[in-house]
């Protein structure tokens, strides 16, 4: 029996309440989505989706649901955050339930909270559905744990840059510690990261770059602070990547791949 037998039964338009559900799509593999997220997509009247959310997930939408791409792909103009806010409110007032489908978890560098706040301030009901975040699962997809008994007691996820585009000053603080550091949106700052860890006295600290985690294109580069730039220069992949720095990177477990070949949903 189906878990959600009424999934695609559309509500009476007269009864539709304008609302927003911000939904985490997971990090790439379409199986890395929650059942609650699948239900929200199936109940949506409008789906606004990003580049990092796997398109295959749109197959869960009911026939007739409106699907609008609001992300940025290479060379395309990005939607301004304010435009997305307005779109959410206008679509909800016109059609009812808007699902905002975002890569990873909407509250990890995802602007999900701001979208919910704007929508609520404009009279919409709001809800949040968590997602599998690259903050943990990108390392895991490469067989690297972010914490490991006897090796690392904590992990720290950070962006490489501040809102104004400057280098995040917290990188220098993290480099003084033994925590596992997971850096998102950091590949273009790799040389600065290397400088910071070298200046902190850790040129031999283990570091990994995991790109397109959980997808068939996944690549991982593993080295030390001293070697990583040289190793990374040989790779030409432009997909999203996280950088993981710390001793747990020395303990890679070789695991069987679990991805199916997803051209369609199960
Ligand atoms: C704007 S942030 C969004 C993070 C997302 N909300 C999450 O929880 O994973 C985008 C960054 O997430 C990381 N990222 C997202 N998906 C990834 C993937 N499949 N593999 C590696 N890194 C990924 C990259 O650092 C990318 O630059």
Q: What is the 3-state secondary structure (H, E, C) of 130-152?
A: CCCCHHHHHHHHCCCCCCECCCE
CB 132 within 8 A of CB 104: yes
Which pLDDT tens digit goes with each residue over 138-179? 999 999 999 999 999 999 999 999 999 999 999 999 999 999
Our mutation pick for probing the ligand 1 site, out of 51, 57, 74, 103, counting the most ligand atoms within 8 A of Cβ, is 103
Instruction: Provide the H-helix boundaries in the chain.
Output: 35-43, 81-95, 112-121, 134-141, 170-174, 190-199, 228-233
- Catalytic center residues: 50, 72
Show contacts of 74-81: CB within 8 Å, 24+ apart.
74/238, 81/111, 81/114
The whole-number average pLDDT for the span 229-253 is 94
pLDDT score for 80? 93
Tokens of 153: 């007691």
Mutate to test the pocket of ligand 1, among 157, 240, 244, 245 (most ligand atoms within 8 A of CB): 240
Asked if pLDDT for residue 73 goes beyond 90, the answer is no
Asked if the model's pLDDT at residue 236 lies above 80, the reply is no
């Amino acid at each position: 029996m189906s878990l959600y037998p009424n999934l695609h039964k559309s509500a009476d338009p007269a009864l539709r309440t304008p609302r927003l559900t911000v939904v985490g799509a997971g990090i790439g593999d379409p199986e890395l989505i929650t059942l609650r997220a699948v239900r929200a997509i199936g109940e949506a009247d409008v789906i606004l989706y990003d580049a990092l959310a796997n398109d295959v997930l749109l197959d869960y939408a009911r026939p007739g649901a409106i699907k609008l791409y609001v992300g940025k792909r290479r060379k395309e103009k990005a939607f301004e955050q304010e435009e997305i806010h307005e779109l959410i409110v206008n679509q909800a007032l016109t059609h009812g339930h808007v699902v905002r489908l975002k890569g990873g978890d909407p509250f990890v560098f995802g602007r999900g909270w701001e979208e919910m706040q704007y929508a609520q301030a404009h009279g919409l009901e709001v809800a949040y559905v968590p997602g599998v975040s690259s903050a943990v699962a990108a390392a895991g997809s490469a067989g690297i744990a972010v914490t490991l008994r006897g090796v690392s007691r904590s992990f720290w996820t950070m962006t490489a840059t501040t809102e104004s585009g400057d280098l995040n000053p917290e990188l220098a603080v993290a480099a003084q510690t033994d925590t596992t550091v997971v850096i998102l949106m950091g590949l273009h700052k790799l040389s600065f990261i290397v400088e910071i860890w070298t200046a902190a006295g850790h040129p031999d600290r283990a570091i990994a770059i995991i790109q397109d985690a959980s997808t068939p294109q996944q690549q991982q580069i593993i080295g030390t602070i001293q070697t990583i730039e040289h190793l990374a220069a040989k790779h030409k992949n432009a997909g999203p990547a996280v950088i993981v720095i710390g001793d747990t990177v020395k303990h890679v477990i070789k695991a069987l791949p679990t991805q199916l070949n997803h051209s369609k949903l199960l």
